[in-house]
Each structure stands twice: as structure tokens, then as C-alpha cells.
Amino acid sequence: MQQIHIDLTKASPAYRRLVASRRRFSFTLTALMILTYYGFILFVALAPHMLAHPLYAGATTSMGIVAGVGVILVAVGLTGWYVLRANRAFDPSMRALIAAAAQGD
């Protein structure tokens, strides 16, 4: 790709918007993961009895086990969400932008 196309693309508002929305999405998911994990750790540190509480009356399985498995599922789920959005939205938009810039002269 020639310098002129690169400059064209960098300057285009559509490119700036795409980069910004992609970044926002990355940071939002990062924040969600931090919230989930440290929320869990805070429960462990500050309210351990709540995690030790049985899931339902008479159960041995505790809330903590379900919460722990939940954090694992959230971690896998969020990475999956990222892949889906990147494949379906970000990649095609970026390809379109580059193609437009390459044709533009």
C-alpha cells in the first residue's frame, strides 16, 4: 500500500470512528473482565461466608462454586464475543475503508 493511501485513510473520519469504536469495545470488555474477577476476589476476601453459603436449602454445593465456574465461563464468553464482533463488524469495515482509499486516486 502506497504512502498516499495510508495518509488518506489515516485522515478519514470514517477510519477515526472505526478505530475509536474498536478501542472502546476492547476497553469495555477489559473493564467487564476486571470487574468480574476482582468482584469475585473481593467476595473471597471480604465476604467469604457468602460464598460458603449453600446454593439451596440442604445442598452441599456452595454459591462460591457456582460463582467460580461462572467467572471461568464469563472469561471464555467475553473472548468469544470479541472474536464474533471483530469478524463480523470491524474486519469488513476496515477492509472496505482500505479498498475505498486504494480506489480513491
Partner 1 sequence: MKPGRFLQGATLASMSALAHASSIEGPVPDHVDLNPVAIGTFLLFVLVTLGITRWAARRTRTTKDFYSAGGGITGFQNGLAIAGDYMSAASFLGLSGMVFVFGFDGLIYSIGFLVGWPFVMFLLAEPLRNLGKFTFVDVVAYRFEQAPIRLLTASTSLVVVIFYLVVQMVGAGKLIQLLFGLPYWMAEVIVGALMVVYVFFGGMTATTWVQIIKAVLLLGGATFMAVISLAQFGFSPEEMFRRAVEIHPGEASIMGPGKLLKDPLNALSLGIALMFGTAGFPHILMRFFTVPSAKEARKSVFVATGFIGYFYLLTFIIGFSAITLLAQHPEFFKTAVDGHFNLTRDLLGGSNMVAVKLAQAVGGNLFYGFIAAVTFATILAVVAGLTLSGATTVSHDLYACWLARGKGSEAQEMRISRISTLALSIVAIGLGILFEHVNVAFLVGLVAAVAASANFPVLVSSIFWRGMTTRGAVVGGGFGLVCAVLLTLFSKSVWVDVLHQAHAPVALDNPALISVPLAFAGIWLFSMLDRGARAQREREAFALQEFYSQTGILALKAAEH
Applying CB under 8 A, which residues contact partner 1?
1, 6, 9-10, 18-19, 22-23, 26-27, 29-30, 33, 37-38, 40-42, 44-46, 48-49, 51-54, 59-62, 64-65, 68-69, 71-73, 75-76, 78-80, 82-83, 86-87, 91, 94, 98
* Residues composing the chain: 105
CB closer to partner 1, 4 vs 19:
19
Q: Which amino acid is at 72?
A: I
All three cell numbers of 8: 488518506
Alpha helices (H) in 1-105, listed in sequence order: 3-11, 13-46, 48-52, 63-85, 91-103
CB closer to partner 1, 68 vs 89:
68
All three cell numbers of 52: 460458603
Burial zone of 43 (CB within 10 Å; 0-12 exposed, 13-18 middle, 19+ buried):
middle
* Shortest reach from residue 13's CB to partner 1, in Å: 15
